Structure formats: structure tokens, C-alpha cells
Structure 1
Amino acid sequence: MSSATVLTVILNYRTPDLTISACEAAMREMQGLPGEIVVVDNASGDGSFEKLSKAASDYGWLASGKLRLVQSGRNGGFGAGMNVGMTAGLSNGAAPDFYYLLNSDAWPDPGCIRGLRDFLLETPDAGLAASAVRGIDDDPHRTAFRFPTAAGEFEAAARTGPLSRLLRERIIAPPLPARRTRVDWASGASLMIRREVIAATGGFDERFFLYFEETDLCHRAQAEGWSTHYLPDVGVVHIGSASTGMKSWNRTPQYWFDSRLHYYLKTHGRAYAAGATLALVAGAMIWRLRRLLQAKPQADPDRFLSDLVTHALRAALGRPRTAPAPIAAIPEDSR
């Protein structure tokens, strides 16, 4: 058995019951693996921390030394909360060999955590490994992606067969690989990260409140020489959007537009960011035309196009900052 340690980080925001279920599954999967679980409450303010603390005590998790609870002190979003958990490290003060990020509404299958860790142990140039993700209805979720581009956003917004075939190499969410495959980036719902990747990148950029934070982390990891891989043979069950409510959005929230713009400004610059927005608008207009001519259903939240344009114009007038926000320092291995 390898002695490589894993710190599983679970972020809670007002989902204590789901988080308790995630902890149960993670505790089961961490048996026999060196390491611990740290649960970060992201300033829920709804009694979540107290409920989690009672459950962890009642189940004997705290006494086992395999699970700790910490409070973030503020709701800085997904990346900021995960940075808090990773910074906490192991209870003996050491940094783990691997960080395993698990959503509070996800439950790993038997062998998932070990399988991701062992893949990284066996693949020296791999920095991140993501498992397959499926819904409670057993439907697979698309969680392995290409990096966003102007062409990719145009294709996604147009939703038109001939254009998709023409731009098939730019599709951001291609069909899921059937075999273990290198990808550009993967969802953070079930993601194993090598310690050296976090040391090299500094962790998540906390300017991303929600969305695009994993995309950015994988992009920076790639720049440091670390690849991301998707493993379809290990998996988790995931409810999805339990904290964000994305599935029931009536309007796209401001933070999604903020995160998208920050990603393009940071990775490609102001001119490309503007071009990507124009490409997205053009694709959305094609879909609107198809809706008029072919009675296609609404596919975006209400007023998505007008909200996108308004956000872009306000950002241009406000001269948004292009520098990333300070990133939480992640400790080097102190053993």
C-alpha cells in the first residue's frame, strides 16, 4: 500500500444534510488510505456548522482523527473555500501529497478516491485527475472539457448541426471519453490534485466567485507543465447545483458574467475577450432566428443575451481590472 497521503476537502454552503451524506461516503472511501477529511463551512450563517459539528461528533468522526471541521469566515465562493481547506493541511501540520476536492452533493463510488490517487502516482506528468460524474438517475454528466474559446462559445450558443460539425474541434463540451484521456480541464465536483500543482499555481484564483475557477486552475497548471486527465472508470454520484441553484436559474447571475470575463481577460487579453463576447452574441442570435423560424424552445435563462451585452458594456466603461486577485498561500510539505 502506498503511503501517499490524501486530504479530502468538502465545501459546505447551506447544504448540511447533503454534506453529512458526502462525509459518510468519503469516510468510507478514506478507510485504509493515509490522510484525512476537512469540511469547510463557507460562512453559511444558517446553523450549518453547528449541525455538521453535532453529526461529526455523534458519528464518531471527530474522535477518529480522520475528519475536521473549519470555518472559512466569509463566503468567498468555491475557489476561496477550497483554498481554506487546502491551506488547513493535515492535522499534524504537514501538507498532503494529494488534495481531493469533493462537492457537498456528491458521493464517491467504492474505489474512487484510491483510483484517482493511484493514477496520479502512476502518471508522473499528470497533475490533476477527475472522475466520471453521474446523476442520481444514473445519467452521465459532462464534466470533461476543452478550454473555452470564441469559436467554441459561438458553436455552443448557435446549437446548429452544420456549424457544430464545422467547429467540432472547438466544441467546449465534447462527448465524454470512453477511456482514460487527457483533457483541457475538468469539473471540481470530484477532482484529485497533486500537491506540486497547488504549490506551483498558488491554488484557486479567488476573483472567480463561482464558475471558471477550475478552468483557470487547469489552464495555469498546464502552463506549469501539468496535465489534466479524465478517468471514466471511477466515479461519483452528483445531485448538481445544490448550492448554486443553477438548474433553476431564471436569470444568469452577475457572478457568472464576471467569472467568464475575468477568465478571458486573464488568459487572452481585452481584445480577445471582446471578440469572444461578440462570438457568443452572434451564436445566440442564430439560435434566436431558429426559434422564430422553427419553433425551437428557449435554451438560455431569461434575458441572457441582453444581460450579456449589458455586462460587457458596463465592464468596458468601468475598465475592469485584469490582474488576478490575491490567492491564498498553500503550504509546502513541512514533513
Structure 2
Amino acid sequence: MQSSAELPGAVLVVVTWNSADVLPGLLDSLEAGMSGLRWRLVVADNDSADATSDVVRTKAPDALLVQTGRNAGYAAAINAALDAVGPLDKDTDAVLVCNPDIRMRAGCGAALVRGLEMPGTGITAPLLFDGTGRMIRTLRREPNPLRLLGEMALGAHRSGRFAALGEQVADPQAYKGPTRADWVAGSLMALSRECVEACGPWDESFFLYSEETEYALRARARGLATRLAPDAVAVHLEGEATVSPKLWTLLTVNRVRLYRRTHSAPAVAAFWGALLLREASRALLGRASSRAAVRALVSPARLRAKPGP
């Protein structure tokens, strides 16, 4: 049996914003969820107007509570937490980044850190389930125009069976092993110390959405892969992105902004056109969030504007 000094070390960063209702469930899950690790908790709070800070002080009095002083976004909050921690020492093997509506199952954190031991791996993600017990397909391929059109024609689940036609990895077998992906949904992920040091700060120009995509693609460019750690299991109660026009618009516009970073103008035009066509087809079916996204995509001012809430 390992002594506590021999256990892997980790920093768990939780980003909060008006999270008083969901945060207690996460904190209650951590004793079992982070078992098998030496760990410390850092909560980066984006100027919550509710009792989030009180929840942290009451339920996790040993946690480091970092106040950003504003609704700074997900990436900025992660950076604030890591700045407060300072340089990672040799006893810190990983940084875990987590949403407050995550519920870790026993040993989840340790399994994520073990997954980082696979050579060339910089990021691991757990097997995620929603609140009803349905598995969430979190593995993703790099976005491109053909995959957008494939999703429009076939739907995300059907197109995801084909690597050329879908961004979402839909094959059930992919979720049974340490499958490599271009990126993963970022509600819970582990970053190796090497990855944190090689990639540097998260890109704060993405207020919300696409920041985890950008980070994983940046890690890949440095030779560090993103993989599923299937022995790590968690529940994600999930947010409003699929139903809120405001959040869906932000997600959609940020996809264009990210694609524009590394592609030529003709390629960006093709990506924008495919995304516009996909959202327009959904808008015609009555989806209000897609109508809002279409309005943003045809507005040059919205595409140029600094991302924000």
C-alpha cells in the first residue's frame, strides 16, 4: 500500500460563477473522487453574486479561494488559479480543471492522472454521464467545413461514425479504451505538468467555448496528445449551451474565431459558409438558438467583437 507521500500529486482547479446551488455536490464528491492522490483545491470565482464563496469557506475551508473580481471567463479564471498556485513543483504531477456541476465517481482523479502516464499524453478526460445516466460523447475531431456539412446532413451522432464527416466521435468502442482525440469537451480534464509548462496560459480571448479546443490543439502542436481515460468516471449535470440562444451564439462565433487563427482566408470563408448553412437549416426547423447564431454569423461586427458574456 502506498504511503501518502508516494501518491501522485495534483492541483484541482474549479471555476465558479453563481454556482452556490451546484458546487456543494461537487465538493461532496471529492473525498472519494480524488482518493489515491495528494491534492489541493483551488476555486477561481468569477465575481459570483450568490453564496458561492460562502459555500467554499464552509464546505472546503482548506481550499485556496481566488477572486478574479469580474466575470472574466473560463480561461481567465484558470489562469488566475494557476497564477495563485505559482510554478508547479516536482511533486505536482497534474492539474485538473473542473466545472462545478461535475460529480466525480470514486477514484476518478487518480485514473485521470494515471492516464497521463501513457507516453506522449498531455491531456486526459473521463468517461462522462449526464444526470440521467446516459453516456456523453465527449471525444472530438478537429473542426472543418466537411464535418460541419456532415453534421448538417446526417446529424451529429450518425456523422460521427465517419472520421471525415463528423466532429463528434460516436463509435461506442472509442469510449472503451484510451482513445486519442483532437480535443475533448472541457468540463473535466487533467493536464500533465509537462503540458501546463509547455502550453503556458489559457487563451483568455475566448470568454467561453473553444478555449478547451484551442488548448488541446496547442498541446497537440507540441507533441502532447489528448486521450480518454476510460477508468475515470464522472457525472456532468450539463449547462445551457444547447438551449440558450445567447450561449449557443457565443459557441458558434467562437468556432469561427478559432478556425481563423490557423487557416487561410479561403479556408475560413468555407468554414464560415458551412457553419452558416448548418445553423440556417436548424433555424428553419424552428430552433431559436440557431436563429440567433445566424444573425451573429452574418454580422461582421459580431465576428470582430471581443468575446464576452
Residue of structure 2 equivalent to 1:331? none
Tell which has more relative contact order, 1 or 2 (C-alpha 8 A, sep 6+). Answer: 1
- The code of the aligned residue for 1:6 comes to A
- Whether 1:42 and 2:42 are equivalent positions in the alignment is no
- Whether 1:173 and 2:171 are equivalent positions in the alignment is no
Q: Distance in 1 between matches of 2:253 and 2:66?
A: 28
Give deviations 1:153-206, integer Å, cap 9, x for gaps. 122233469x94996523101215132211111111121101111111113100
Q: Distance in 2 between matches of 1:300 and 1:142?
A: 24
Q: Distance in 2 between matches of 1:287 and 1:45?
A: 35
Q: 1:135 aligns with which of 127, 130, 133?
A: 130
- The code of the aligned residue for 2:119 comes to P
Please tell me whether the aligned partners of residues 158 and 287 of structure 1 are also in contact (alpha carbons under 8 angstroms).
Answer: no
Q: Distance in 1 between matches of 2:36 and 2:160?
A: 47
Residue pairs, 1:174-253, within 5 angstroms: 174-175=169-170, 176=172, 177=174, 178-241=176-239, 245-252=240-247
**TM-score normalised over the length of structure 2:** 0.85
- Cα gap change, 1:34 to 1:309, in 2 (>3 Å): closer
Residue of structure 1 equivalent to 2:254? 259
> Per the alignment, in what secondary structure is the counterpart of residue 76 of structure 2?
helix
Residue of structure 2 equivalent to 1:89? 85
Q: Distance in 2 between matches of 1:304 and 1:236?
A: 32
- The code of the aligned residue for 1:314 comes to A
Structure 2: unaligned runs, 5 residues or longer: none
> Per the alignment, in what secondary structure is the counterpart of residue 17 of structure 1?
coil
Q: 2:301 aligns with which of 309, 314, 323?
A: 314
- Cα gap change, 1:315 to 1:45, in 2 (>3 Å): closer
Q: What displacement does 1:68 show? A: 2.3
- The code of the aligned residue for 2:274 comes to A
Q: Distance in 2 between matches of 1:37 and 1:209?
A: 23
Give deviations 1:8-60, integer Å, cap 9, x for gaps. 11111101231122122123333441221111111113332133223334xxx
Q: Distance in 1 between matches of 2:115 and 2:296?
A: 40
**TM-score normalised over the length of structure 1:** 0.79
How many positions carry a matched residue from both structures?
298
Q: Distance in 2 between matches of 1:183 and 1:165?
A: 13
Q: What displacement does 1:112 show? A: 1.0
Q: Distance in 2 between matches of 1:150 and 1:232?
A: 30
* RMSD, matched Cα: 2.9
Residue pairs, 1:289-308, within 5 angstroms: 297-299=285-287, 301-304=289-292, 306-308=294-296
Structure 1: unaligned runs, 5 residues or longer: 292-296, 325-335
- Cα gap change, 1:74 to 1:94, in 2 (>3 Å): farther
Which of structures 1 and 2 has the bigger CA Rg?
1
Residue of structure 2 equivalent to 1:75? 71
Give deviations 1:52-94, integer Å, cap 9, x for gaps. 223334xxxx2xxxx322212222211111122223227x984
- Cα gap change, 1:144 to 1:93, in 2 (>3 Å): closer
- The code of the aligned residue for 1:21 comes to G
Give deviations 1:114-146, integer Å, cap 9, x for gaps. 11111212x121111100110111011121100
> Per the alignment, in what secondary structure is the counterpart of residue 35 of structure 1?
strand
Please tell me whether the aligned partners of residues 103 and 235 of structure 2 are also in contact (alpha carbons under 8 angstroms).
Answer: yes
Residue pairs, 1:96-135, within 5 angstroms: 96-121=92-117, 123-135=118-130
Q: What displacement does 1:254 show? A: 4.9
Please tell me whether the aligned partners of residues 26 and 103 of structure 2 are also in contact (alpha carbons under 8 angstroms).
Answer: yes
